[in-house]
Amino acid sequence: MGFEYREGELYCDGLRIKTVATEVQTPFYLYSYETLTSAYESYKEAFSKIDTLICYAAKANSNLAILNVLAQKGSGIDVVSGGELFKALKAGFPPQKIVFNGNGKTRQEIEYALENDLLMINVDSINELLVLNQIANQKTKKARIAIRVNPDVNPITHHYIATGLAKSKFGVNIHEVKDVYLQASKLENIEIKGIHCHVGSQIIQANLYGEVLQKVIKLTEGLREIGISIEYINLGGGLGIRYHDEDVPTIQSFSEMILPHMINTNYKLILEPGRSIVGETGILVTRINYIKKGFHKYFVVVDAAMNDLIRPAFYKSYHRILPVVEHNMEDEGLTTDIVGPICEDGDFFAHERLIPKPEEGDLLAILDTGAYGFAMSSNYNMRPRTAEVMVINGKYHIIRKRESYEDLINKEVIPEGLA
């Protein structure tokens, strides 16, 4: 079901969003269980012809309930910090379905990963490899690894989320990675399991993955010639979703770029999708506080702000914005900026957007905010972080309580004797 209009009202999995807003209060994130599970099942089905582990990228949205739903469905998980690993274990992911990523793992995080015997750790540099081997030796453990290769390809996405360029901070230079594998093969506490590659986020050219995979397979064949065998090829994540009018590949068409290269090999495939699983699963529901006429334009001031959803300010990203209850639909509408109450001009959700003529008190739904929405939220301007809600079988459940003012100070301490 997901999000749909019924007789002029927006519903989530069969439940009136207006009802949820009245009882939970705004702003809040609202997630569709049906959309979440459908996206995951689409990946499973599309890649069912080969041995594939779908490792959901926790960074996109790490709410414990969302993680638990995916764990129950059989998903693996890609984590990039000790905190994400902690939540993954709490949510029920078996260690043998957890991959630890990241380019700056601390010694404490490496120890935590080794203690929990994860499927593998994706090594980002020769320096990290040596530290990992040292810690594994101290703990008398074998560290299962893949080495992240930087293939130097342009994913044609926002430069902040392009991770496979030569200038990127991630991975080992593709021209040097064979030497790093050779060194890894000589370390007593390292077990080589795979190779990892991640070229970026919000990628809408599915053919790019086929090109990258060909590079990686050629590299693994070269490794085999020097006696290093690879079990897993991890292509990372990054498949985009439609925020505006992008021509976005389906998960099925994405798989059609991958399967021909993998079908006759003995490699197991790992994918790390995040946005393409949770992006369309969530919306941010907000209420219009004021409609203000400025010098040259109108401003619709809502009760959500950039601390709740920073993507428009940070990436200049576009999110569709719809009325929760349609009215005045025959009116020409209003071209307006939709802004929040934070003391920054960067606090906006849309500029010069034509929307159905709004009224103060109306509810708006900011779509496609399930990924990197709440996950990137903050307490800027001392705003308590908003609630998260999930609709399951026509009923809503609060899966993260709204923060209180007390929550804002519960970790702070005024030193004794301070004048």
Contact 46, 17 (CB under 8 A): no
Q: Given this model, what pLDDT does residue 165 score?
A: 43
Q: Given this model, what pLDDT does residue 245 score?
A: 87
Q: Given this model, what pLDDT does residue 329 score?
A: 66
Residues 303 and 160 in one domain: no
Residues 302 and 155 in one domain: no
Q: Given this model, what pLDDT does residue 251 score?
A: 92
Does residue 343 have an active-site annotation? yes
Residues 61 and 37 in one domain: yes
Listing DSSP states for 263-331 in one string gives TTS-PEEEE---HHHHGGGEEEEEEEEEEEE-SSSEEEEES--TTT--HHHHH-----EEESB---TTS
Cα separation values, 73 from 33, 77, 91, Å: 12, 12, 12
Q: Are strands 348-355 and 9-12 parallel, antiparallel or unpaired?
A: unpaired
We report the CATH number of the domain holding residue 347 as 2.40.37.10
Q: Given this model, what pLDDT does residue 153 score?
A: 65
Domain for residue 53, yes or no?
Answer: yes
Active-site residue, selected from the candidate residues 12, 55, 197, 343: 343
Q: Given this model, what pLDDT does residue 273 score?
A: 95
Domain for residue 81, yes or no?
Answer: yes
Q: Given this model, what pLDDT does residue 156 score?
A: 45
Residues 101 and 238 in one domain: yes
Which residue, among 239, 225, 182, has the nearest Cα to 47 in the 3D structure?
Answer: 239
Domain for residue 416, yes or no?
Answer: no
Domain for residue 227, yes or no?
Answer: yes
Residues 180 and 329 in one domain: no
Q: Given this model, what pLDDT does residue 73 score?
A: 98
Residues 60 and 172 in one domain: yes
Residues 206 and 352 in one domain: no
Residue-wise over 341-354: b if at least 16 C-beta within 10 A, else e? bbeeeebbbbeebe
Domain of residue 174, residue span: 33-275
Nearest-Å Rg of the Cα atoms of the chain is 23
Domain for residue 233, yes or no?
Answer: yes
Residues sharing a CB contact under 8 Å with residue 197, sequence separation 6 or more, in sequence order: 148, 149, 150, 151, 164, 171, 212, 216, 234, 235, 236
Instruction: State pTM to two decimals.
Output: 0.94
Domain boundary among 251, 275, 299: 275
Domain boundary among 246, 275, 304: 275
Residues 310 and 356 in one domain: yes
**Is the bond into 260 cis (omega within 30 degrees of 0)?**
no
Q: Which residues of the chain have pLDDT under 50?
A: 154-166
Task: Give me the percent of the chain exceeding a pLDDT of 70.
Answer: 96
Residues 374 and 266 in one domain: no
What total number of domains does the chain contain? 2
Which residue, among 4, 65, 55, has the nearest Cα to 29 in the 3D structure?
Answer: 65
Domain boundary among 253, 275, 297: 275
Contact 123, 145 (CB under 8 A): yes
